[in-house]
């Protein structure tokens, strides 16, 4: 905590810095995240600046985080950046698996921000466990309701081709690393959601 506070004290106030930022992993092409571009589109329409952190220096990222009023990101290492936001900021974390990232709790506590969690995934399979994916994200009912609460009317959208790509990647990944494919817990709930979203 002392280290984080020491770093935050070096943050520069910049009135021109964007007030709403969405930190994205979509430009990494790491193969583990599918569908984040659809989440990006929602936040872009809500007035968020889409930020690919790997394209900025740490000092530039720190300035954006310190000056923002609302920070959004998918849950995982990228959302841990919330610890560099001011306590009065809002943090929106988009969940991409049914299990919570345990490190995020510590980051949230350090940040002291107002938190909003959105379950926007249908990650039915895992290869190396819940925390390692692959992950499938899409604009589901939860994301649609969140957007509507912010004045943006959007319908849920299930990108079937992206989902099939996700499934194929899961099987390829399992074969490549000779791992057993794991089906997530609460499978009945998520299979029901899949049927509803594909055929609605």
- Per-residue confidence (pLDDT) for residue 137, from 0 to 100: 95
* Integer Rg of the chain from CA: 17
Q: Which residues pair with 157 in a beta bridge?
A: 139
User: What pLDDT band is residue 112 in, cutting at 50, 70 and 90?
Assistant: confident
- Per-residue confidence (pLDDT) for residue 123, from 0 to 100: 84
User: What pLDDT band is residue 156 in, cutting at 50, 70 and 90?
Assistant: very high
**Which token pair is 96?**
């991409």
Find out whether 113 and 71 touch, Cβ atoms under 8 Å.
Answer: yes
CA distance 84 to 51: 15
Q: Strand 90-95's sheet: what is its strand order?
A: 49-51, 20-23, 70-74, 90-95, 114-119
The rounded mean pLDDT for the chain is 86
133 vs 70 pLDDT, higher one:
70
User: What pLDDT band is residue 2 in, cutting at 50, 70 and 90?
Assistant: low
What CA–CA distances, in Å, run from 188 to 67, 183, 184? 43, 11, 10
Looking at residue 154, the DSSP 8-state letter turns out to be -
CA distance 120 to 184: 15
Mean pLDDT of 22-45: 91
Q: What are phi and psi of 54, to 5 degrees?
A: -65, -10
pLDDT tens for 42-96 read 999 999 999 999 999 999 999 999 999 999 999 988 889 898 988 899 999 999 8
Cis bond upstream, residue 134 (ω within 30): yes
Find out whether 179 and 127 touch, Cβ atoms under 8 Å.
Answer: yes
Nearest Cα residue to 121 out of 106, 105, 141, 103: 141
Give percent above pLDDT 90 in the chain: 48
Number of H helices, E strands in the chain: 7, 9
pLDDT tens for 134-152 read 899 999 999 999 999 999 9
Looking at residue 99, the DSSP 8-state letter turns out to be S
């Amino acid at each position: 905590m002392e280290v984080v506070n020491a770093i935050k004290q070096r943050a520069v106030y910049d009135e021109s810095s964007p007030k709403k930022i969405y930190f994205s992993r979509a430009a990494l092409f790491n193969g583990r995240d599918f569908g984040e571009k659809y989440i990006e589109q929602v936040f872009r329409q809500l007035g968020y600046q889409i930020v690919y952190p790997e394209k900025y220096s740490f000092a530039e990222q720190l300035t954006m985080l310190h000056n923002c009023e609302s920070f959004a990101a998918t849950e995982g290492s990228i959302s841990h950046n919330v610890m560099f936001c001011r306590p009065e900021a809002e943090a929106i974390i988009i969940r991409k698996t049914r299990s919570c990232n345990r490190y995020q709790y510590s980051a949230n506590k350090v940040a002291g921000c107002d938190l909003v969690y959105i379950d926007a995934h249908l990650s039915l399979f895992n290869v190396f466990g819940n925390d390692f994916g692959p992950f499938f994200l899409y604009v589901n009912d939860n994301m649609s309701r969140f957007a509507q609460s912010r004045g943006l009317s959007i319908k849920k959208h299930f990108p079937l081709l992206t989902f099939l790509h996700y499934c194929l990647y899961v099987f390829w990944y399992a074969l490549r690393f000779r791992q057993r494919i794991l089906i997530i817990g609460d499978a009945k709930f998520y299979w029901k959601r899949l049927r509803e979203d594909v055929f609605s």
